[in-house]
Amino acid sequence: MQVLSGKDVAMSVLEHVRKEAVIFGEKYGRMPSIAVILVGEDPASQTYVAAKKKSALELGYGHKDYHLSVHATQQELLELVRELNADDDVDGILVQMPLPPHMDENCVIDTIDPAKDVDGFHPVNAGKILLGRSSLVSCTPKGVLRIMDHYGIRTAGKDVVIIGRSSIVGKPMAALLMQKGRDATVTVCHSCTLGLKEHVRRADIIIAAVGHPHMITADMVKSEAVVIDVGITRVTDLTKKKGWRLVGDVDYDNVAPRTSAITPVPGGVGPMTIAMLMENTLQAAQERKREQKGENA
């Protein structure tokens, strides 16, 4: 059984991004730049934003922080997004989700310039993924593929079962795996799937992305399957000094011995999401400059 360390892969990705960003900076006179907008005081969102800022600054990226009150209006948020769309020194825009209940997340995502949509959530980018065209790809699915590529896990001709149909992970993951070159046979399971265990047990590759602790148990996994655990949930654990620990959708201790390869939680897919965000920001910067100079013509 091989442990698929997303942490190790992320370090490799970020080192490559660092080198490419320096080349970009030397060519264009500035480093790639990302603007991050946080609305409200959600502790988890604050933690995520801080981690993204740390990574950007370590790479030498330009970074702009915007923290709006939980009472800010949607119009105020949209006006800020439009300002950043028009700012030529900003290559990537990220609005941290979730937003307060009075804001329409889809409307906000739709307002972001697709060329600066480094989260890969805009309908234009999502549509391009489905059509197999070049685009900014949603960070978590992109990170999953990078882990598999790094460890030489082939998907061609394999039965892949994805548990979870979110627009952030499940749907783009399925679209990417079906593309020519990946050539997987994909089944997407969800809360209304009948006979979930039977679907999962025939999978060569299982991708769990539902946020339900230890939902995937050993009796659901066939021998030598590859298991990618995207889920991450904080659960109470009084044996820990902090009183909690992070677990995935997969019952790791019991499932791991049955697999040929598996991602841990933490240290698996999680670190890849930020690494892919940094890579997407570099990609957005490069493509915008090429477009401006007519190099794509």
Query: Is 96 one of the catalytic residues?
Result: yes
> Does 165 count as an annotated binding residue?
yes
The tokens for 276 are: 């892919």
> Does 5 count as an annotated binding residue?
no
* Length in residues, the chain: 297
Catalytic residue of the set 52, 116, 142, 171: 52
The amino acid at 107? C
Catalytic residue of the set 91, 96, 117, 142: 96
Are residues 251 and 217 in contact, defined by beta-carbon separation less than 8 angstroms? yes
> Does 166 count as an annotated binding residue?
yes
Query: Is 283 one of the catalytic residues?
Result: no
CB-count exposure of residue 67 (10 Å: 0-12, 13-18, 19+): middle
Catalytic residue of the set 119, 204, 229, 251: 119
Q: Which residues are catalytic?
A: 52, 96, 119
Which residues are part of a known binding site?
164-166, 232
Which residues are part of a known binding site for NADP(+)?
164-166, 232
